[in-house]
Each structure stands twice: as C-alpha cells, then as structure tokens.
Structure 1
Amino acid sequence: MNERLGKTIPIAIEEEVRESYLNYAMSVIVSRALPDVRDGLKPVHRRILYSMSEIGLRHDKPYKKCGRIVGDVLGKFHPHGDQSIYDALVRLAQNFSLRFPLVQGQGNFGSIDGDPPAAMRYTEARLANTADAMLKDIKKETVDFEPNYDDSIKEPTVLPAAIPNLLLNGSSGIAVGMATNMPPHNFREVSAAICAQIDNPEITADELLEYILGPDFPTAGVIHGTKGYRLAAHTGRGKVVLRARHHVEGSDKQTLIVTEIPYQVNKANLIVRIADLVRNKKIDGIADLRDESDRGGMRIVIELKKGTNPQVVLNSLFTHTSLQVNFNINNLALVDGKPKLLNLKGMIAEFIKHRQLVVRRSCEFELKKAKERESVLVGLKLALANIDEVVEIIKESKTVAIAQTKLMDRFEISTMQSQAILDMKLQRLTSLEVQKILDELGEIRKKIAFLDDLLSHEEKILTMIKEETTELSSKHGSNRVTRISPEEVIQVNIEDMIDEEDVVVVISHRGFIKRISASLYREQGRGGKGAKTSDLKENDFIKHAFLASTHTHILFVTSAGKAYWIKVFEIPEGSRTSRGRHLQTILEFEKNEDITAMVPLEDFNSESSIFMATKLGFVKRIATYDFRNAKTRGIVAIHLDEGDSLVAATLVNAGEDVFIATRYGKGLRLSGTAVRMMGRNSRGPRGIRMAIGDELMAVCPVKLDETMLLVSEKGYGKRTRYDDFSPHSRGTGGQRAYATNAKTGLLVSALSIHEDDSCIGISALGKALRFAAGKVSIMGRTAFGVRILDMSDDDSVIGIVRQPNGDSENRDVSGYLTEEKE
C-alpha cells in the first residue's frame, strides 16, 4: 500500500450503515422536519424571519424583492437551495395556510386552487406585525446564538416568541420514522388557556378544553364531534373530522352552495374530483357544477336534478371527495432538542417555561444595562459636584490616558465612569442639565429596584407573561372561524337513505345493466305483446333479467367461474327504454368474462347456500358465507372444465330440494341432501345426465306451497306442481317436464312462483310483459302449455322474472305494457 494514502481501518459495513443512518435520521428530525416546541418554527422558517429582521423588513417598512430575501437567507444561514427557501417564505405569507401569517406578501403568492406563486423576482415581502412579537427582545440576549454553517456569523437557536406560534399556526412534517401534524388554534382561546394554566399549574386537560374549544383552521369549515380533539388534548394524538360548510338554495330544483372547504384541500382538484365522479356515474343527482368564487369569498355551486334528495348527494360527496377530511393530530415537537409527543397541557407548559426564561434573561439584560447607566450617572454627579477640580486635573494632564488615570485615583471611580466624565460636554454644566442627570439617576434606581424585585419573585414574571399574552391576543386575535358541531360524524349508510322497493335488474348481451322499478309495469292479459324495456343497439339483446329488492345483495357469477356482489341500489337506475351502464364500470371482471347467473341475497351466512349448475350438468352447493369477501373484485366460485360454463345459480335453504331443468324439457328433482356443501375451488359432481345436444338450463328451489312456471322460446308456458315429480338420485336422466316442439321452441325459463305473484317476461329484442302467475294454467308434465307472450318470428323469450305478491289493482288485461302515471 502506498504510504502516502495513510492507514486503512477496517469497519464492519453494518455498523457503518447503522451509524450513518442514525446520524442522517437525527439530522432530518432536528434540522429539517420537526418544529421546536418553544417558537413553533422549523430552522428554515426561523432563519427567514431572523434574516428579514436583520435587513430591516419590519411591517412598517417598504417591501423588498423576495429574491433579495432568499439570497440573504441562502448566503448567510440556509445553504440548501433557493427554491426550498422561497417555498417556505411563500407559505409564511399564505392566509389559507397559516391562521396567523408571519410575512406580508405583495404579488402572486399562490392560491387555494393550487396555483403556484410567481417567481421570486416578481414578488415582494416584509414581516407581518405578528412577527414583531416573535422577534421581540432578540437583541437583549434573551436566546442563545450559534455559529452559522460556515462559522462566519451567528444565528439564533430559537426565537423569543412572545406568541404561542406552535398552537396558533400548527405544523406538519415528515421526518425519518416519525411525523408531526398539529392543527392551528384561535389566539384568544389559547391566551385564555395560558392564563388559566399559569393561575393553576395543576389544571387538567378537560379544564383546558373549557377555554380551547378545538382547532381553528384558516379555511374555516365545520368540525364534527369533540371526541377526537379531546383525545388529542389528553394524549397528543387524535382525529378531527372536518367538513365543508354548505347550505341549500331553492325549493323545487335545489342547489348546494359550498362556501368553505376543509383545511389544506385544493379547491380546483376538489371540483375536478366531483366532476369525474358525476361523469363516471359514481354520484347521481348532480345536473351542473361550477365555481363562482371571487374576491367576495368562496362559492362552489352544485345544481341538483329535479327531485333529488340533497342529503343523499351530500353524503356521497362527503364519502368520495375532500368535502370531508380527517385531520389526524400528532403533536410531535422538539423538546430540548429531542422529539417528544405532547398533549395540550404539555405544549402550553413548554411555552410558559420558554417565556419565563426569555423574560428573565430580558430582565437580567435590562438590569445589567441599568446598573451600567447608574454607574455612569453617579460618576457624572460626582464630577459636577467637583467640577473645578475635575477641570484642573484635565488641564494639567498631557494626554487623555493620564487624565483618566488621575480622575480614577482621585475620585476612586471606574474606567467607564472616568471615560464618561472625559466625554461630557461643557453644556452639561448648566443647572438644567445637572438636574436632568439627577432625575435620570432617580429613574434608573427605581428601574433597578423594580427589576431586582421582579427577578426575585417568579410569580411576578408569570403575571407579566399573562399580561403580555392577553395584550397580544387582544391586538392580533380574532373571532373563531371554524365552527364546531357537537354531533359526531356517523358513517352514513347510503342504503338507509334509499327507499326499499322491488326492481327489475336487466343485463344485455353486450354487458349493459340497469335497474327499473317494478311499479313501472302494468299487468297484461296472457298472450299480450308487451312493450319495450330497453333501447338496445344493433346486435345487442336482453340476456338476463332478475327481480330483487333495492336493499338486497346481488351475487353475479361469471362464465369464468368467479363471483362478485354489489348492493342492488348501486346498480344505476334507468328508464324502461334506456340502455343502462356497462358492467365493467361497476364490477372489475376481465373482458372475456360473461355474467351467467345472478342471485339476490339478504345476507351471508352458513345456513343458506348457493346451488350452482353448469351447462354440461355438473352441480355444487356453496355456503353463502364463503362469498362475503367477493364484492366488486371477485373470488373463485366454481372450477369449470374446458368447454363447460355456469348457466344457473340459485339460493337454497338447508334441507330444501332443488329441481333441475334442461333445454329439451327434461327435469330432475334432487333431495336437499343429495349434493353436499363444497369448497369454492371444486367442480362438483354430475347432477343430471342429458341427451346429446341438450343443455342444463335452470335450477329451482322446491317449495311445496308454490308451483313451477315453465316458459319456452316462443312464449308458451304452463305451471306444474312439484308433487308431479318424484325425487331421483344424482346423475340420473330425470323425467319429462315440458313437451318441446317446433311451435314452442326450446325451454328458456323455469322458476318457482306463488299463486298471487306477478311475472315479467323479457324478450331478446327488449320487450317486457307483466302478467299474473295465477292466470297461467296448471298442467301435467307432458303438456306444452298456453301462449303467455306473443312473439314475432324474429323475437324470442330470454327469461321470466318473478315479483312476489303482485298487486292485482294494477292489472290492465287489454293494454300493452305502459309506464305508470302519478
């Protein structure tokens, strides 16, 4: 090794990394991210305020370019980039970022819409009058100073901070392994709490909350509930729920007006978010959205569609946008150079402690200066009493130094006193000037006595802090702008605000879905032609139709064997002729997946099960509880062999028989115990053995108080009793259930219905017909039934949906399917 390179010291890399990372972490924590509990400032903000003070940019002085300020801070105190300094300076001047801005800006300093500030060469700034209190008495040795980054000058380690800035403006920052997030407060409330804690050091957090009601954000808004802030006041951590302030205008066609938004929310992004939700139909009922904010204040206008419930829209906006936010309080600050979590009492105590030290050091500085002045005045008084001798000594001395020495020896005075005598002008010899010296000496001695008494009684220092804080709050404080509502925010269940009603869920071949109120259909007589229920595009047709309540879950099972569920009310509502919305905007399934079955569910439990059947005749049962996590992303429901697909799924209760029907009209009744519960990933056993070309078509739960409705492609159908079918073993061919032929077409629907039920038939061309189940005759197993729907040559029935306990008063046996009129 080359000797000039020195000696190599081996160090374990894990030790070096550990030490270096800890050093870096502490540097970030102490020097960048966390505020000091005493003045509530991070180093960059402290340096900006001190630098502006040093160059004389007080609130009553002219503005100077921000580029000049940034350059001064960069060159003297903060060599970490001009942009970071300018960003910090801008924030100190933004009235929507700070409750009490410490800098006055002139020019474009950004906006609540997220607009960036103008370049620093265009903007100007000076200290705000509130900053005077932050810097008060800094020249009186009230705080410690330390060398700057290049040891050329000194900078303060903390500001005197006569105002509790940490509580007033809050702070936020992310360090390494820790973060802080403190809310701003109202000055008048904080001042009252400080005085109360000085009067009673044993005061509790609950008693302090009688003075400080909660955060007071610069953008106002409404805080809902007090539990979160109360927890933060006790522990240092809590959550505050903040909502926008709004009101409703209009009566028939109502409009939501938002006048205040939560703290740190970008208004422009908020409006874009609402627009996206409306465009993607995540929120219904909004007709128009615009921003009418101006110099007079904020005004976001949300026009609602006629008949829309404003509270439903508001709850959706609160759920999906930043009109409601959670402000998570984490009162982490530097105490004696170390991060510490503080509750409300702790923060006030640290401020009082800091102010006690600052006031004491200020008094000590004043006392020192007063005693020095007293000494000078005593010397001048002595000189005036012996003026002739003093003049003689000065005249006889060859130099000033000799004269000073003689005066010190003759009158036993100090160097400072002798120098003051030598510096005295002859005009001070007048009787009036002599009296001024005597009066000043008397005043100085009173001041010295006052300061001595103040420094010897800590309670008097505390009284001074109380008076000073009260005075500053009267001067700079204002009324609270953030309203506090005692009502806690309860997670609103949108379902509770949706009227429960029966709806028909319709899905087209191309994947468009909608729900239609069942009350829009009137019953027709058997053999009616029906009316359109969807305005479908070319090459599209109705593939699935289902009746369900708006409050139930609806389970979708796809051709790929995956299951998804949503609440029925989450399906977009449409008119009888609307196309609906594509399923892929609601459920997150693949493009090659196709919905093959829909099952309405009240809840998910281990007692009820989903009975599934595939095109090739395989069946399985799965507890509904196994689908509880399906939601919109989906989970595997059944394993499918190549060439097979799921064609039917139905809800089956424990011990209930099921009936399987095929396209050729064959049927098999299975005992409730014939197919056991299975896991989601299994295929299941063979349920029915079918002829070549035949396919399994439907599964019905067997209910003895109901009959089975069978409908063919061409609109023929009948009702058949379940007692006509005897239970058979799994895997057998079953019995004849329907006599299909060229006239009837193949079987398309089999479902259990009650005598009083209504049914709605859906055709491939989108027509719908509602009819009473009791109008359909009960026939034997081999009959093909009567005409129920009149199908044209190019149309066919694709499904029948059931509406329990149909209302006979709405029956219209002569007319076509029409929309109800109020």
Structure 2
Amino acid sequence: MEDNLTPQETNDSNRIISINIEEQMKTAYIDYSMSVIVGRALPDVRDGLKPVHRRILFAMNELGITHNKPYKKSARIVGEVLGKYHPHGDTAVYDTMVRMAQEWSMRHTLIDGQGNFGSQDGDGPAAMRYTEVRLQRFAESMLEDIEKETVDFTLNFDDSLEEPTVLPTRIPQLLVNGSTGIAVGMATNMLPHNLGEVVDGCIAYIDNREITIDDLMKHVKAPDFPTGGIIWGIDGIRQAMNTGRGRVVLRGKVHVDTKPSGREQIIITEVPYQVNRDALCDKIGSLVIDKTIEGIAHVNNESNQKEGTRIVIDLKRDAVANVVINQLYKFTELQTSYGINNVALVKGRPRTLNLKELIHEFVEFRHEVVVRRAQYELREAQRKAHILQGYLIALDHLDEVIALIRSSATPDIARENLVNAGWGLDEIQAKAILELRLQRLTGMEREKIKEEYDELMKLIASLQELLGNEGLRYDLIKKELTEVKDRFATPRRSEITYLADEMNILDFIAEEDVVITISHLGYIKRTSATEYRAQRRGGRGAIGGKTRDEDYIEHIFVASTHHTMIFFTEKGRCYWLKVYEIPEGEKNSKGRAIQNLMQLPPDDKVRAIIDVANLDDKEFVQSHYIVLCTKKGIIKKTLLEDFSRPRQTGVNAITIVEGDQLLDARMTDGNSEIMMAVKSGRAIRFPEEKVRPTGRGAIGVGGIEVDEDNDEVIGMICVGKDDTSKTVLVVSEKGFGKRTPIDEYRITNRGGKGVKTINVTDKTGPLVGILDVTEKEDLMISCRSGLTIRTGISNIREAGRATQGVKLISLQEGDEIAAITKLDEFEQEAPVTEASADAEPNEIPNSTDEPTGSGENPSTETGTEQ
C-alpha cells in the first residue's frame, strides 16, 4: 500500500480498509512482544513464577496431588494443564515440570518427582507416561491460603474456568530459585539465593525501611547455587545487588589426593551451575589431546546420584597439580561466569530491580496477602458468628420455635414466621435454624455452641485489631517468614572467595601461632602450636608427622597465620606464601606437596624460610635485610625491600655457583653479629658490617672457610650486638647439645676458619644445628623418623665450647636428628612428665612438669638441616 493512504480511506466495491503497513507492523509487533513478555518469558516479581509454572502448581493443587498423597502420572498433569489453563505444546509444559523437579536445577525443588528426570550429565528425562509427580511441601507453602480470596483470579483461555493471576506465596521464590527467560527485546537471568539469607534480608528490611543495600548484603551475601561451587570474587555481585545487572564467576570445587603409588589425582566434587559433567570431561580430554593442557594422564567421571559429583583426573608423575588446576579454570567450564539481569514484571510492566527493590516488592505483596486473608477470615467469622447467634436465640425460645415451625405449612412460611416472631432473627439466621439438626437441641450441644460463639468473637476482635494495626501485620509477616526459614532453609552450598583487591582477607582469619613443618620430600602443613606438648629434656618425643620410609621432617618453625612466609630454595630462588594459605593438618598428618602451593620446579627444594609480619610496611622493609649463606661458606646480604613484591613464579635471591647450595636465611636490622657453623664442629663470629648489601642477583662473599673434602656449613645465626640474654645452642646428629655464652666466641673477620663450638666424636655425631636462644624459649627437635620433642631451653645447661654437651633426645637405633627450631613460650594444656632413662648422669632434672613460660610473638628463626 502507498504511504499516503489514510486508515479511513475505503474501497467501497471490495470493502477493503487501506492502512499504513508500517503502522500495522509496528502495532502488531508490539502486541506480540508484550504477549511474550507478560504471558510467557518473564516472572512476576511477587511470586517469582512465569504463567506456565503457576498453572502447573495450581492445577496439581486443584487435583489434590499434595506431598502426602500418592504420585500421579506426569502425563495426567500435563493434560490437565493443557486442557484447562495453558493451550500450548505438551513438551513445553513437561519440560517445565521436569526442571521444577531437578535438584541440580532448582535451589529448592517445587515438584517431587518419581522416575527418571534426567541427570547433571545431560541425560534427558523419561517420557511423561513413565514419570510420576506430586507437590513438594515447599510449593504447598506458595499455594497456602489461595482459597481465602488472597489473590485475584482471571478467566482461562476459553472463559470456562478461573485461574490465579499470582500465587499467595509465603516464600520469596524469585530470589530463592531465580529465573531465566528470553522475551522479545529483553531477557532475564536471576540467580538462586539461600532461603535463610533471603528471609533474614526481608526481616531486616521490615525492621528498617531505610536500610542500605550494603547492609542488606550482610544478610543476602551472594547467590547460592544448587550445585555448590566457589564464587570467585564479589565485586560483580555487589554491582548486581545495587543496580540489578552484574556478573558472578563460579568455580568448581576441587582437591588433590595422592594415590598409594605417590602419583597425584585432582578430584572435582562440585561443578558450576548448569555445567554438563560429561561435556566437561570431554572438553578436558580434547584439551589434553591438543596439548593445551599437559600433565593429565586420564579423566574419568565417577559421579552418581547417591554420592554426587566426582570427576577424577589422574596426573602424570612430573605434573604440578596446582598448575593443572589453574589451566582447567582457564580453558574449561570448571570456571564459568554468569550475567545477572534482574528483570521481572512489576504491575504487569518489565523492570530491572536491585536487591532492595526485589525485597520491597515481595514484602508489600505479602502485606497485601495478609490483609486480604484477614478480611476474608473476618467475613467468614462474622458470618458464622451471626448464625451461631441465631442458634442461641432459637435455643432460648426452643418450645416456641418448635411450635411455630410445626404450625407452618411450608418452609418458606416457617422462615417468614421466625423472622416476624420478634426475637431479632433475620432471613439468614432463620434459614440456618430450619436446617439445624435435632441433635444440636440437647443441653450439651448448647454449651458447645456457646463456646464456639465466644471463640469466634475473640477471633473477630483479634482480626479487627490486626486490620487496624500495620505494625501487627508486619510482625505477623516476620513470624511467618521465620517459620518458612525454620522449615525449609538449608546451609549455604556455594562458598564465597573474596579476591585480594576486594577486601582484607585477614579480617576473616583468626590470628594464632601455628607450627609449620616441611618434610625432606617437600610436604608442607601447618598445625596449631598448642598440639605440641612440652617435654623434659631427654624425652623420647612424639610423632610429629607421618612420613614415608625415605622421608622425614626437615624444617620446623612457628609463625602467625597473618604473616607472610618467604621461601628460599637450594638453587637460590625466592617464593612467597601467606601462612593461612598453607593447608592445615593434624600433627601426625603428612601434609600437602609444596609444588601444589608454589610454582616450584621438581628438581628444586626449600632450604630456608623467613617469617615477615607485613611486607607492605615500607619503613620496615627499607630498614631490614635478608642474610643468606650457602653450604660452601658464601654469605650475602640484600635489602628486604628487594623481596617485598611477591611474584607467582618467584625471583632469583642469590646466584649459586656450581656444586654449591643455598642453606639458610636470616632477617636482620643491619646491626647484628653473624655466626656460621660447619659440620666438623667449628664456628665463626663476625660483624654484619663486614658484608656489604648487594642486589638479588649477586653471588656473595666468603663467610667461613670450609674444607673441600666432607665438611659443609650447617647453619647460621644473627644476634644483636647488645643482646646479652642469648646463648649459642648447638645440637649434634645423635642427640647431644649444649648452650654456650656468645662471648666465648671471639669476633674475627669473615672468611676465617673459626673456633671449636662442640667436641665432635663418634658418640655425638657431626654438628647439625645452631640457634641463638634464651632461657624463656623452647626447643623443638625433629628426627628423620618423624618423631618430635619439645623441651624448655632452661633445661639445657650451659657448657664450654670444647665440650660435647648432654643428651637432648633418646634416639632409636639408626635414627638421626633432622632439624631443630626454637619456639617462643606459650601456655600448654597438657605438659608431659616423661623423662629419659638415657639422660647424662650429671644433668639436673627439671623440678616441675610445667612448660617453661609463655609469650605471644612467634619466632622468626627457621629450622636447620643436615
């Protein structure tokens, strides 16, 4: 048609109305799009349901298929919904019903299904003629009070029946189960949340209408997915809570197991929401074939309905589990992001809503339901009380009433006679009296009628009070919400991980002292320091870690969970790790392979550890140094600031020459005296100023002369020049040790041979450790067999440099000391009273069973090793 034609222009011969096609298409498309938006794709903000969901639940309720009734065939329900309320395809209705019964699709399922409803692996459900359904209790709470005129009804598609426009839900269903839909020109993607958190948020809003969204987020923290997972970062969620649009990143939950053969496995126990487990396994397999991910030997989906998700990934022997996990997050759906788009129908119009608006709309709808329910119950109570009042009048004039009825020719005449008898009865009461059963004329029944009438009058009074008092109505809403929470709320399934730039994670970590152990084969763990009991010198110790036959505890030290550990490897590399990131384990557990926590090469191993309270403290890092020493006697000093910028791949700390290894590291303030000891029993003491500061890549200078044959440096200590409280503790391989005043070691230049520090004999074995200690500290000794012993330093007597010392621990045949460390004293719950039968004759026994004192700050010293 031509554009210049008007809608009124008519062809009389053909009776064709000429219209503008552009206007017609625009109008028709708007009508179509609004039909899709309102009638199909978007949920109502009040009950959180689309029409098809609402019609299925209403139809099942009308059929009486509740949670305590037998299951009915799904085909029967689908037919009921199609024939009465939803004239669309049966597949659309059945697919909707199936989803409402799938535990991995809905945070709280609305339908209780029996039969095959598909799986998380992408398997489809059985045909509707095979499956059976009934309502869940959860859904029944959404339909409760629907018969009390709480919501509006509308005619169905053929005007033969009525259906509800919304369900009078007691549950904030839209937030709890979320919704997804694609309309015309708009879409919605609302994620599920935890019911308990949402109820707490609604109650907080009722208590304070001016509450901020940040305060609401203290209750409704983040989405909570039915399949669990780990929410990675909160910024996108915070944006969605404030604006209605945002993004959430979800990771699957994994852990690393070690098989008896020593090879590691990555076990996936939770996958992100709506991720197909079989498809995930296929994707991993294709990435392995393409060599995008290396280190995976085999992938197997061992998931089942009873035990849930379990995907096992076998690693190759040289693979680093932590690296493979990060690759899985990067290249597969093990990490998935979801766009949040909170679009819902408000009064029939689509709107984007933030968290507070969603809660506001539900609370106001719930208030409307409570008012309408109270009005209905008041009307019903008044109607019933009115009839009971008529009964009581009739019973008061029983003989006259009976005579009047007997004398009336017809029921209509009898009703008129009762109304006109002068007893104050109306038409409704007269009709009820005529329908009264004779048994209610007994004396007992009269008392029951009177009691029932009194109860109804109390109910009427309370309902009138409720309708007249808004505060009471909102208190009732809070009470009913709390009941919903108590009945249906479950613990949060999705963990929340805050990223480093979003918040201070230390606020969520309890600060305590922990003992950190690293084994010879590189297994690390942290254990609460209170698990290690104090023992007398010479005791036989306790198991400090399960190890393989060829493994033993090599490093043992104490640090606070809020501190940062700087690790130095034998090849001169430096790595960082927060103490709270070290896996927690029991005292006798093996721990976790350190390669899974840091990107440590397989041919390198940790040799020394420095504990730093705060690497962000500029003044501290610019006034302290890291002193490094090697087995060949090289010493090097570098400003701590050079190690204050952590890198995941590590940095070079010292250049190691061929045939040498980094041995130890200490942190100093620049004004210390350095002592180095060698295995043959010699030690040297020289001022720190003799070692000038150099950069991270430097080689260092000579610290002590080492014989080329079989001697090597076994440790280093750094002591303040004015610190007179400390003594030098040395320990030999076969459990002998002693303390010697520092002054007995004369100050020399670096690079010399040093002086004797212990008399090395076949009985003592070579020197294995040197520490600077005070009498208020404890000594912890770790053996190659896994035994550990903790004893007070004050129990170890002082002796001269040339003596062999006293026995500190009774070793089993073939066992040797592997590492020693000092611990600041702190209270112990159960001190041990065991003393060794092998103690030296001249040792002085401890006079008390109590540990030797208490303190709070952890030692910054590391253990030493042979």
State if a TM-score over 0.5 links the two structures. Answer: yes
1:89-128 aligned at under 5 Å gives the runs: 89-128=97-136
Q: Which residue of 2 aligns with 1:471?
A: 483
Distance change >3 Å, CA 353–CA 6, structure 1 → 2: farther
Residues 226, 488 of structure 1: 8 Å contact kept? no
The answer for the alignment partner of 1:281 in structure 2 is 291
* Contact 2:48-2:178 within 8 A present in 1 as well: yes
Please, which of 443, 454, 477 is the counterpart of residue 466 of structure 2?
Answer: 454
Change (3 A) 1:5 1:106: farther
1:387 is matched by which residue type in structure 2?
L
State the match for 1:267 in structure 2.
277
**Secondary structure in 1 matching 2:128:** coil
Residue 196 of structure 1: which of 194, 200, 204 is its match? 204
Question: 2:251 maps to what in 1?
Answer: 243
Q: Which residue of structure 2 lines up, in the alignment, with residue 432 of structure 1?
A: 444
Q: Which residue of 2 aligns with 1:355?
A: 366
Matched, 1:30 2:38: yes
Aligned match of 1:327: 338
1:49, 1:489 → 2: CA distance? Answer: 45
Select 1:253's aligned residue among 260, 263, 267. Answer: 263
Residues 270-298 of structure 1: per-residue CA shift (max 9 Å, x gap): 11111111112221111111111122121
Amino acid at match of 1:484: I
Contact kept, 8 Å, 2:415 with 2:434, in 1: the verdict is: yes
SS in 1 for 2:420: helix
- For each residue in 1:307-358, what CA deviation from the matched residue of structure 2 results, as whole angstroms up to 9, or x when unmatched? 2122222222111110000111111000000000110010010000110011
Q: Is the 8 A contact 1:255 1:303 kept in 2?
A: yes
Question: In the alignment, which residue of structure 1 is the partner of 2:170?
Answer: 162
- 1:4: Cα distance to partner? 11
After TM superposition, the structure 1 = structure 2 runs for residues 669-688 of structure 1, keeping only pairs within 5 Å, are none
- The answer as to whether partners of 2:285 and 2:299 remain within 8 angstroms in 1 is yes
For residue 465 of structure 1, give the secondary structure of its aligned residue in structure 2: helix
Match of 1:415 in 2: 427
Letter in 1 for 2:424: E
* Local SS of the residue matching 1:202: coil
Identity %, equivalent residues? 51
Q: Distance in 2 between matches of 1:208 and 1:38?
A: 19
The letter of the residue matching 1:232 is A
3-state DSSP class of the match of 1:239? strand
- The 8 Å contact of residues 11 and 17 in structure 2, kept in 1 or not, is answered as no
Name the structure 1 match of 2:229: 221
Please point out which of 293, 300, 311 is paired with 2:303: 293
CA contact (8 A) 1:241 1:489 kept: no
Which secondary structure does the structure 1 equivalent of 2:58 belong to? helix
Conservation of the 8 A alpha-carbon contact between 1:221 and 1:244: yes
Give the distance between the partners of 1:4 and 1:369, measured in 2 at CA: 61
Supply the distance in 2 between the matched residues of 1:324 and 1:49 (Cα, whole angstroms): 34
Displacement of 1:412 after TM fit? 3.3
Equivalent-residue separation in structure 1 for 2:442 and 2:394 (angstroms): 13
Q: Distance in 2 between matches of 1:262 and 1:377?
A: 61
Report SS of the residue matched to 1:112.
coil
Deviation string 1:363-412 (CA, Å, 9 cap, x unpaired) is 10000000001110110111111111111111111000000011111133
Q: Provide the C-alpha distance between the structure 1 equivalents of 2:14 and 2:420, rounded to a whole number of angstroms.
A: 63
SS at match of 2:196: helix
Query: Which residue of structure 1 lines up, in the alignment, with residue 395 of structure 2?
Result: 384
Q: Judge conservation of contact 1:93–1:101 (CA < 8 Å) in 2.
A: yes
Aligned residue number for residue 90 of structure 2: 82
TM-score under structure 2 length normalisation = 0.56
Q: Partner residue of 1:304?
A: 315
Q: Would you say 1:369 and 2:380 are equivalent positions?
A: yes
Partners of 2:388 and 2:279 lie apart in 1 by 68
Structure 1 CA distance for aligned equivalents of residues 74 and 473 of structure 2: 39
**Counterparts of 1:238 and 1:458, CA distance in 2:** 36
Q: Secondary structure at the match of 1:57?
A: coil
Alignment partner for residue 456 of structure 2, among 436, 444, 465?
A: 444
Distance 1:280 1:464 in 2: 61
Distance of 2:102 and 2:347 partners within structure 1: 30
Distance in 1, Cα, partners of 2:284 & 2:244? 34
Q: Distance in 1 between matches of 2:63 and 2:14?
A: 48
CA shift digits 1:113-153 (9 cap, x unpaired): 11000000000000001011000000000000000011110
Q: Over the residues paired in the alignment, what is the CA RMSD in angstroms? A: 1.7
Q: Deviations over 1:185-207 (max 9, x none)?
A: 11111111111110101111000
Instruction: Name 2:63's counterpart in structure 1.
Output: 55
2:357 aligns with one of 342, 346, 353: 346
Inter-partner Cα distance in structure 2 for 1:250 and 1:218 = 29
Aligned to 2:495: 483
Q: Is the 8 A contact 1:288 1:304 kept in 2?
A: yes
**What's the TM-score, normalizing by structure 1?**
0.59
Amino acid at match of 1:462: Y
> Letter of the aligned partner of 1:85 in structure 2?
V
**Change over 3 Å in CA distance of 1:206–1:489 after alignment to 2:** closer
Separation in 2, partners of 1:128, 1:403? 51
Say which one has the larger Rg. Answer: 1
Does the aligned pair in 1 maintain the 2:277–2:301 contact within 8 Å?
Answer: no
Partner of 1:8: 16
Q: 1:272–1:95: structure 2 CA closer, same or farther, 3 Å change rule?
A: same
Gaps of 5+ in 2: 1-9, 503-866
- State how far apart, in whole Å, the 2-side matches of 1:141 and 1:91 are: 29
Please state if 1:19 is matched with 2:21: no
How do residues 719-738 of structure 1 correspond to structure 2 at under 5 angstroms? Answer: none
